[in-house]
């Protein structure tokens, strides 16, 4: 254990920490690494989803023929965005029901709406993937770090059991080593909380836009089926 007069470098504190505290630090570093990986990944996914949604909305509300839009979605199925997949699923079901003789107008629209709803749920699951991990990291990491700190402080005081006269110089390094665990826990938690709040807001906004589109598109399909 370093003495109080030594330069309490962060790496020295980590190296001289107890085994349990080192394990806690290693877990927090691994969680922080995964958290940052998901933060950058979700930024790319959501940014692309927003751009694809805006692009399809411009094409859809620009007066382009629905059959042409549907054919384009089918031809580029692996590269289209979430909203375009919702449109494709709804129009495919609508066209299938419309080709069947004797199908009621409400049945056509309801079938298209159910198909869009199922695709909508899958796309939302994809957009929300890993957000739960960020939420868990933000809420649990400080407590994991606090556990390491408490354990480290206990270890520091236990080492003074056989010392006749305890001084600040003897106990301070051990406490400093333990506090590093809390610092690492906060380092893992704060970015995860910020990213989770931001990305949850962005995903909710996308979900609201998808639901608005499904309602408006259902009305368009109803008018087409009634002709």
Residues in the chain with pLDDT values less than 50: 1-7
pLDDT of residue 133: 95
Mean pLDDT taken over the chain:
86
Residue 44: is it exposed, middle or buried by C-beta count within 10 angstroms (0-12/13-18/19+)? exposed
pLDDT of residue 167: 62
pLDDT of residue 1: 46
pLDDT tens digits, residue range 152-206? 888 777 766 666 665 666 666 667 777 888 888 999 999 999 999 999 999 999 9
Q: Which residue has the tokens 């939420």?
A: 135
């Amino acid at each position: 254990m370093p003495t109080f007069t030594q330069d309490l470098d962060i790496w020295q504190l980590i190296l001289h920490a107890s085994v349990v505290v080192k394990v806690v630090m290693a877990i927090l570093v691994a969680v922080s690494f995964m958290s940052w990986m998901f933060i950058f990944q979700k930024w790319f996914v959501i940014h692309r989803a927003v751009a694809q949604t805006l692009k399809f909305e411009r094409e859809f509300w620009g007066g382009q023929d629905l059959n042409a839009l549907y054919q384009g979605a089918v031809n580029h199925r692996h590269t289209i965005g979430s909203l375009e997949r919702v449109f494709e699923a709804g129009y495919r079901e609508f066209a299938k029901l419309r080709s069947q003789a004797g199908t009621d107008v409400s049945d056509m629209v309801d079938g298209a709406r159910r198909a869009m709803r199922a695709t909508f749920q899958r796309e939302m699951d994809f957009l929300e993937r890993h957000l739960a991990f960020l939420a868990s990291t933000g809420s649990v990491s400080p407590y994991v770090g606090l556990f390491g700190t408490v354990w480290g402080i206990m270890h520091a005081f236990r080492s003074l059991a056989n010392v006749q006269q305890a001084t600040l110089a003897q106990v301070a390094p051990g406490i400093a080593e333990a506090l590093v665990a809390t610092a690492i826990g906060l380092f893992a938690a704060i970015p995860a909380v910020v990213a989770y709040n931001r990305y949850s807001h962005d995903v909710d906004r996308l979900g609201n836009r998808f639901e608005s589109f499904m309602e408006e598109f259902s009305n368009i399909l109803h008018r087409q089926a009634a002709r």
